[in-house]
Amino acid sequence: MRALEANADYFGVSYGELMENAGRKAAESIIALFKKCSVLVVCGTGNNGGDGFVTARYLENAGYRVTVILLGRVGSVKTGPALVNLEIARGMNMPVIEADTAVKIPKEAFLNCDLIVDAVLGTGFSGIPREPALTAIRCMNESPIRKVSLDIPSGLDAHTGEGEEHVDADLVITFYAPKKGLDRYKVEVADIGIPGKAFTHTGPGSLVGLKSRGDFMEKGGGGRVLIIGGGPYTGAPALAAMAAYRAGAEIVTVAAPKRAAGIIASFSPDLIVRPLSDSQIIGEEDVEQLKSLISRHHAVVIGMGLGKEPGIATAIAKILPACKKVVIDADALQAGMPLKGIITPNAHEFARISGNDMKPDDQAAQEKVREFSKEKGVVTVWKGRPAVISDGVDFKVNSTGNPAMNVGGTGDVLAGIIGAFYCRNDAYKAACAAAFVSGAAGDMAYDDKGIGLVATDVIHWLPYVIKKYRPK
């Protein structure tokens, strides 16, 4: 739900509109089921509480006698639509009782009403409720008054469907779709206007729950990425490596043939470069050294700038089995090459490895990419117009990016971002998030540079995109 809400906001249905729709739909259900009466609405300080404030307003306007208990101070309510809707309720002179501690909760209010609306904790909750929410939950359960929970009974963990102490609701009005654990309740599902693109497209929702460097206290938490590339081309692996850093990887190592390694090392002091044995291309003599490097990294990105000399394919085929998490790109995407992990073909490369000659704007791309991913057991990032990401079961369309990104190196940047995200996340999550972030950075670069943008401009904007769109 957090991902869908973030995507809905991105595609034009704001958090405020979703909250308004949720509260209105909940009030409509209550009005249809319960005649005009005295209603106690118990609200937390987050967005579930915001739904409660809207519900309270609609019930008050419909002639119900409404009192709100806010489990906190007005100043602690989440900034944004939740706080706006609380202020609207207060502006209507609706009684709002602030109870920021358990002892301030007026327990008699849970008995002196005809209906209780629970809007304390939503789908983001997990663990054991803290005070004053815990006392409020106990007061609701000890009351014989009928209880309606908004979205999910407070105290229930939407990830597991369990909870040590949660509201024993007579009715749950849940938004968009049932959540885990609601099969034991009477449930009404309310459509709150989430647009179709929120389901089918990547967006800020793809970054919800994405783990990266900032989520770990210990050194190494951001993950270690190994880039295997270079030979005829030296810029490609350097671009992938710098993109991985800017996307949150903590350590990035580039393994490249000797001649290329020296050039790559000169691009930036941030890069750790490991020269291989041959001076020109990666060969079978490098396999053991690469396997040792692979064992010390969380994710491997392979292919960019390698070239297509015959011995390279043989070396890659021996390297891939040692990779637990691997992103296969560019020159490593050869016909007959073993595939695993995440692959990032453009239209020509996809035709080469699949035998399916899709155009970049193929209207049937979603199903074709999904079928191929299922057959090969990989996550595919098909770099068409628009891009399609699939794990063989689900798919996402990515609509970020622009024609100015049709310049050398942007594919290498994408592969590096995927590698960084893949360190601490599953393959499909990493691929969807990276596709969105890469294209959004390209859009920012276009706003800055216009049609003259280059791949390093996209790298520059990566931290800004992640900072802007990663949900707090």
In terms of domains, do 403 and 297 share one? yes
Q: Tell me if the bond preceding 275 is cis, omega within 30° of 0.
A: no
Degrees to nearest 5, angle at CA 236 with 230 and 239: 125
Domain boundary among 137, 170, 200: 200
User: What is the 8-class DSSP label of residue 74?
Assistant: G
For tokens 């594919």, name the residue.
411
The span from the CA of 370 to the CA of 392, in Å, is: 5
CA angle at 13 for the pair 180 and 382, rounded to the nearest 5°: 75
Residue 227 sits in the same domain as residue 165: no
**pLDDT the model gives residue 147:** 98
274/405 same-domain check: yes
Contact 331, 305 (CB under 8 A): yes
- CA dist list (Å): 77 to 61, 70, 134, 197: 23, 9, 18, 30
Q: Pick from 441, 413, 412, 417: which is nearest to 429 by CA?
A: 417
Rounded Cα distance between 106 and 263, Å, is 71
Which one is predicted more confidently, 363 or 136?
136
Provide the pLDDT for residue 220: 67
Residue 216 clears pLDDT 80, i.e. is over it: no
Tokens of 233: 């081309």
- Same domain for 435 and 307: yes
* Residue 311: other Cβ atoms inside 10 A: 13
Give the pLDDT band of residue 222 (cuts 50, 70, 90).
confident
Judge whether 35 and 22 are in contact, CB under 8 Å: no
Neighbour-count burial of 292, counting CB atoms closer than 10 A to its CB (0-12 exposed, 13-18 middle, 19+ buried): exposed
Q: Which DSSP helix (H) or strand (E) runs through 117?
A: strand 115-119
- Ranking 90-99, 217-226, 279-288 by mean pLDDT, the lowest is 217-226
Contact between 176 and 195 (Cβ < 8 Å):
no
Separation of CA 153 from chain center: 25
Claim to verify: residue 176 and residue 250 sit in the same structural domain = no
DSSP state of 130: P
Taking residues 369-392, report their average pLDDT: 97
| 145's tokens | 């008054």
403's tokens: 């024609």
Please give the structure tokens belonging to residue 158: 């939407």
**AA identity, residue 415:** A
Q: Which two tokens stand for residue 81?
A: 């639509």
Q: What is the pLDDT at residue 218?
A: 72
Tell me: do 148 and 11 sit in the same domain. Answer: yes
Q: Tell whether pTM > 0.85.
A: yes
Q: Are residues 35 and 179 in the same domain?
A: yes
Segment 223-236, tens digit of pLDDT: 999 999 999 999 99
- 180-212 in b/e form (b: 16+ CB < 10 A) is ebbeebebbebebebeebbeebbbbbbbbebbb
Looking at the structure, do residues 52 and 97 belong to the same domain, yes or no? yes
Average pLDDT of the residues of the chain: 96
Longest Cα separation, the chain:
84
Residues 291 and 377 in one domain: yes
Task: Check whether 75 has a pLDDT greater than 80.
Answer: yes
223 with 356, same domain: the answer is yes
Q: Beta strand 251-256 with 224-228: parallel, antiparallel or unpaired?
A: parallel
- 127 token code pair: 């663990």
Q: Are residues 185 and 222 in the same domain?
A: no
What's the distance, CA 161 to chain centroid? Answer: 21
Res. 217 pLDDT band, cuts 50 70 90: low
247 and 430 Cβ atoms separated by less than 8 Å: no
Task: Report pLDDT for 454.
Answer: 98
pLDDT the model gives residue 40: 98
Question: Would you state the pLDDT for residue 357?
Answer: 86
Query: Quick one: tokens of 377?
Result: 């057991």
Residues 26/149, Cβ–Cβ less than 8 Å = no
Strands of 224-228's sheet in order across:
272-275, 251-256, 224-228, 299-302, 326-328, 342-343, 379-382, 387-390, 395-398
Residue 143 DSSP one-character state? -
Q: Is 253 helix (H, G, I), strand (E, B) or coil?
A: strand
Number of domains composing the chain: 2
Nearest residue to 456 (alpha-carbon basis) of 402, 407, 401: 407
Domain end marker among 167, 200, 233 = 200
Tell me if 66 sits within 8 A of 114, measured CB to CB: no
CATH of the domain at 370: 3.40.1190.20
pLDDT tens for 22-31 read 999 999 999 9
Kindly report the backbone phi and psi dihedral angles of residue 437, in degrees, each rounded to the nearest multiple of 5, phi listed first: -65, -45
Taking a C-beta distance cutoff of 8 angstroms, is the pair 379, 394 a contact? no
Where residue 58 sits, what CATH number does that domain have? 3.40.50.10260
Give the domain-ending residue among 146, 180, 200.
200
Nearest-CA neighbor of 435 among 195, 194, 205, 196? 205
Task: Tell which residue, 213, 247, 195, 175, has the closest CA to residue 6.
Answer: 195
What are phi and psi for residue 453, nearest 5 degrees? -65, 150
The reply to whether 167 and 243 lie within a common domain is no
Using the structure block, give the residue that is written with the tokens 């979703």: 18
Q: Which two tokens stand for residue 217?
A: 């206290």
Looking at per-residue confidence, does 360 or 340 come out higher?
340
Show the domain range for 308: 206-469
Q: Residue 362 and residue 46: Cα distance in Å, rounded? A: 43
